[in-house]
Structure 1
Amino acid sequence: MFVGHEFLAFALAGLGATRLGGDERASLWLGAVAALAALLPDLDVVYAVATYAAAVAGGTPLGWEAFWGVANGVHRVVTHPLPVGVVGTLVFGATVVAVRRGRGTNSNLARPTDSTGPNDVEPPSPIARRHSSIPAVAGVAVAVVAAITLLATFYTTDGGAATLVAAAFLLVVGVVGALAGRRTTAAFAGDRTSLSSTALTAAAGVGFLTHPFGDVFLAAPPPLLSPFGPPLLTERIVLATDPTLNLLGVLFAEVATVWAGVAVFSRVTADRLGGVRLRGAVDARAALGVGYAPAAFLLPRPTIADAHVLGFTIVPLAIVVALWAGRSARARLQRADAEATATADRSAPARVDAAYVSVVVGLTTLTLAGVAYGAAYLLL
């Protein structure tokens, strides 16, 4: 479930930007920002690993069950709750605004700039600049107050360790927000359209606020209202009474979110990738995924507690097939480009197209492998 968060956030933000009139570049950037924000809450796994290492030094045995027994007490507890996501969104937006104000940038989502040149545009008056800075200053102030309130509440309810983890998380979010502000400003410099700070903040919010709902199928769900309220969910959602079928259900939920992200990417980029679309990127090699069916008879029956039995076998199969298909696609696209343009060096677009083909073929292989395994398991 570490991967599904990012693809779901990308799909929602990218598709939303497209529906609101954003062009291809804006939709891709906003989708990427949402995906990055969806990744950040899982950085607390570093703290979980450190906690487990300390537990092992104290006599805790090595193993997946032992690791998650310790990690579940710290992983997802601080960084995943919705109030933390809201404050993280505010901090992200505040740092974007601060960086842009410091660089003298005032970006607006998809609003055309004057194409006649800077000499034909009357600069804003000092009064106009002062009035335009009021919302920015207010936003930064709200983010600071929200962050202080959150950390103080964590200290009161959960102690110093949780407070330090929350503070480190918000610090990382602020750094990422500053980088996003700089990179998007540079990426859209000179263009007729640009990304507003509001749009970037909304995209980050999509990532932060959708993340915890992807964890309701594994182990204990995150305390959604912490540290301000009681947990809304105390038990994970079970998709099937049979533990192996339940794990397969989680796998298909994860695969569905990845497919959603890939489908939105394909829609946003349209024919940019050499005319390679989602349906056309599927390769016959993906049928090798059906060959995973005998694993249902040969491997121990995997459950949530030992999901690595499934993950460490089915995913490598998909990766091998994906790399094989991508290599063939790159060679084929290079030959086609060379024949069409009489230029032998077209490796850069070929690499991009081949990477897209690799992802689609690998995902198709994984999907077919999961279906084949499930069918074989039901026949046992």
Structure 2
Amino acid sequence: MMVGHALLAFALVAGTLSLAGRSRERALSVGLIAAGFAVVPDADMVYALAGLLDANYDSVFSVTEAFWETSTVVHRSVTHSLVVAVPAAVAFGLWTAESRVVRASAAALAVALVTAAHLITGPLAALVMVAFLVSGFVVSSLADSQGKAGPVTVFGAAVVGIWSHPWGDMFTGEPPHLFYPLTDSAVVERVALSPDPTLHLLGAFGLEIATLWLAALVYCHISNISISENVNRRAALGVVYGVAVLAIDPPTLSVSYQFVFSIVAVGILAAVPFSRARFRTRFPGDLSLPDRMTTPEGVLRALLTGLAGLTAALLAYTAAYVLFV
């Protein structure tokens, strides 16, 4: 989901700036800044690492289950608030100012947010607020040093990035606390795409893929690149994944690892170009990338082909599930 959060913010900001007539470089750079801020709310996952201390290490699945169970204690609360996002974005923007006094005011605002979280909710909320703010300041510093973005640009990118984050979370896990600390009752339960838990998962996965396509469309439009000319026909092999409906248990949000790992593997296989002649000449254990993936054009072609293969795999699996399960 973190990739989806980032690419949604990128598409919104870069696409809007492009439509407003800004240069390609400016649209892409500010879009990347917004993408960075879009993943900052998930800094609250740092607390979930505590779950690994008490995890049962009998299997990978038991470890991941302990991780996710611990994450629900504070995840999607103070850092996912549309209310908190505004003063936080102000602090992030002020942090890029040249004046030391202004930067000091950004730090003071951050301290105020941490203090408020502690007084309203408790020390754990203050801890994740610290992680959230530190992550935001890191993105701000990179935006200033690498993207030459000033306070106004950083503020705007931060607001869009953080505000765009919670909506994808409506379909997975606990709903975010959109208006913390004012109220937690805006959304009390997960938005269901289907009463069938498997179809709900497939729908949520489809929304994630649609977000990836949106970002790809925006990037290719801004860069004047044809998507159809950069998708290799091997992406069609993704339809073979439909047979997986007979091999794995129907996935749900609670148990989705086998489905997610296997379908992503299909996308990766579609993305990586290979030839039988080159394969025969490789030494065992040689994991270097093919020559065609060492250029920006080759990387883009691989990503688009992999995304197309992943899309074909999802459509094939969904059709097979509806027809045969």
Provide Cα deviations, 1:104-160, integer angstroms capped at 9, x if missing partner: xxxxxxxxxxxxxxxxxxxxxxxxxxxxxxxx94x974x556434432321122211
In 1, are the aligned partners of 2:263 and 2:313 still within 8 Å (CA)?
Answer: yes
Normalising by structure 1, report the TM-score.
0.75
In 2, are the aligned partners of 1:92 and 1:174 still within 8 Å (CA)?
Answer: yes
Q: Does the alignment pair 1:373 with 2:313?
A: no
SS at match of 2:246: helix
Residue aligning to 2:132 = 169
The Cα of 1:372 is off from its aligned counterpart by 0.2
The Cα of 1:230 is off from its aligned counterpart by 2.5
Letter in 1 for 2:236: A
Residue aligning to 2:303 = 359
Aligned residues: 306
Correspondence for 2:223 among 265, 269, 273:
269
The Cα of 1:64 is off from its aligned counterpart by 4.2
Residues in 1 aligned to 2:313 and 2:153: alpha-carbon distance in whole angstroms: 39
Residues in 1 aligned to 2:130 and 2:194: alpha-carbon distance in whole angstroms: 38
Letter in 1 for 2:92: F
Ranges in structure 1 where 5+ consecutive residues have no aligned partner: 103-135, 186-194, 271-275, 332-346
In 2, are the aligned partners of 1:34 and 1:203 still within 8 Å (CA)?
Answer: yes
Correspondence for 1:291 among 240, 250, 258:
240
In 1, are the aligned partners of 2:96 and 2:151 still within 8 Å (CA)?
Answer: yes
Greater Rg by CA: 1
Ranges in structure 2 where 5+ consecutive residues have no aligned partner: 279-290
- 5 Å-filtered alignment, 1:103-118, equals none
Cα distance 1:363–1:29, how it changes in 2: closer, same or farther (>3 A)?
A: same
SS at match of 1:294: helix
In 2, are the aligned partners of 1:95 and 1:174 still within 8 Å (CA)?
Answer: yes
Letter in 1 for 2:297: D
Residue aligning to 1:306 = 255
- 5 Å-filtered alignment, 1:61-72, equals 62-72=62-72
SS at match of 2:234: helix
In 2, are the aligned partners of 1:153 and 1:227 still within 8 Å (CA)?
Answer: no
Residues in 1 aligned to 2:156 and 2:270: alpha-carbon distance in whole angstroms: 37
Residue aligning to 2:147 = 184
Cα distance 1:203–1:348, how it changes in 2: closer, same or farther (>3 A)?
A: farther
Provide Cα deviations, 1:172-211, integer angstroms capped at 9, x if missing partner: 31232122112223xxxxxxxxx55322321222111111
**Cα RMSD for the two superposed structures:** 2.4
Correspondence for 2:186 among 216, 232, 251:
232
- 5 Å-filtered alignment, 1:332-343, equals none
Task: Answer 1 or 2: higher relative contact order, Cα 8 Å, separation at least 6.
Answer: 1
Q: Does the alignment pair 1:254 with 2:218?
A: no
Normalising by structure 2, report the TM-score.
0.87
In 2, are the aligned partners of 1:52 and 1:70 still within 8 Å (CA)?
Answer: yes
The Cα of 1:350 is off from its aligned counterpart by 6.5
Residue aligning to 2:176 = 222
Residue aligning to 1:202 = 156
- Over the matched positions of the two proteins, sequence identity in percent amounts to 35
In 2, are the aligned partners of 1:86 and 1:209 still within 8 Å (CA)?
Answer: no
Residues in 1 aligned to 2:63 and 2:322: alpha-carbon distance in whole angstroms: 29
